[in-house]
Amino acid sequence: MTDSDIPSTDDDAIHEDRLWRDDGWTARVIKNEDDDGWAVEMIQAGEAEPALVGPWTMGRDKKNPKPLDANAFRTLVKTASEVLRRHEQQRHAMLHKNVTIDVQGEDMTVTLEIVPDEDDPYANLKAFDAYGTQLAHVRVSPAFKLSKASAERWAENDFAKPSSGG
């Protein structure tokens, strides 16, 4: 297979001193707005905002930035990917909560899944028995505070829709 057999894409590789694009990522060395130094921004293909912006090393002349290279780019991709992964884990944790409660000697899991719809955000409050069978489901405010106490109150009220935020 030759290079001419590979279809061209909008994400064609670029390997320049201050701009490196490959594998769905773009590294761009930019002037650091906060001081006289340089910064590098990592942007994932299709995204408008950088996933990572960090300081970049000065070159030997102490005036211009060190050129990007394959090793630096791989390290930057790894770091930016980890930042996105942690951000996604944090977002998931904010939108999906659960507690386990004891109801008449039986373990029950209560979950709260927030749906951050721009026009009509809401949350689903659900109860499951120890075998994973759904026992109840109500739609609540995304501001509902799930805790052991609020889950126990909900179960004690026969899973009637809670009247307030938890």
pLDDT tens per residue across span 77-132? 999 999 999 999 999 999 999 999 999 899 999 999 999 888 999 999 999 999 99
* pLDDT value of residue 5: 37
Residues 59 and 118 both lie in one domain: no
Residues 100, 65: one domain? Answer: no
- CA 57/CA 85 separation, integer angstroms: 25
Compute CA 41 distance to the chain's CA centroid, rounded to the nearest angstrom.
18
Q: For residue 161, what are its two tokens?
A: 């829709």
Whether 141 shows a pLDDT value over 90: the answer reads: yes
Residue 20 CA to residue 115 CA, distance in Å, equals 37
One domain, residues 82 and 100: no
Look at phi and psi of residue 62 and say left if phi exceeds 0, alpha if psi is from -120 to 50, else beta: left
Domain termination site, one of 94, 109, 144? 94
User: In this structure, are strands 25-31 and 96-103 parallel, antiparallel, or unpaired?
Assistant: unpaired
Same domain, 71 and 113: no
Tally Cβ neighbours within 10 Å of residue 86.
Answer: 10
The CA-based dihedral angle spanning residues 41, 10, 5, 74, taken in that order and rounded to the nearest 10 degrees: 10
Counting the structural domains of the chain, the total is 2
Same domain, 50 and 103: no
Cα 117–118–119 angle (5° rounding)?
A: 95
For residue 27, give the amino acid letter: A
Question: Binning pLDDT at 50, 70 and 90, where does residue 76 land?
Answer: very high
Q: How far apart are the first and last CA of the chain?
A: 62
User: What confidence score (pLDDT) does residue 90 get?
Assistant: 94
Please, which residues bridge with residue 44 across strands? 25
What's the confidence (pLDDT) of residue 34? 75
pLDDT band for position 163 (cuts 50, 70, 90): confident
112 and 139 together in one domain = yes
Residue 52 lies in a domain: yes
State whether 118 and 70 are in the same domain.
Answer: no
Per-chain mean pLDDT for the chain: 89
Considering the domain architecture, whether residues 74 and 107 belong to the same structural domain is answered as no
4 domain residue, yes or no: no
- Range of 20's domain? 11-94
For the CA atoms of the chain, what is the radius of gyration?
A: 25
Verify that 128 and 57 share a domain, yes or no: no
pLDDT at 1 over 70: no
* pLDDT at residue 2 tops 90: no
In a domain? residue 1: no
pLDDT for the residue numbered 12: 83
- In 3-state terms, what secondary structure has residue 62? coil
Task: Report the percent of the chain where pLDDT is more than 70.
Answer: 92
- Is residue 48 over pLDDT 80? yes
Rounded distance, CA 120 to CA 123, Å? 10
Residues 66 and 127 in one domain: no
Is residue 32 one of the residues assigned to a domain? yes
pLDDT at 9: 46
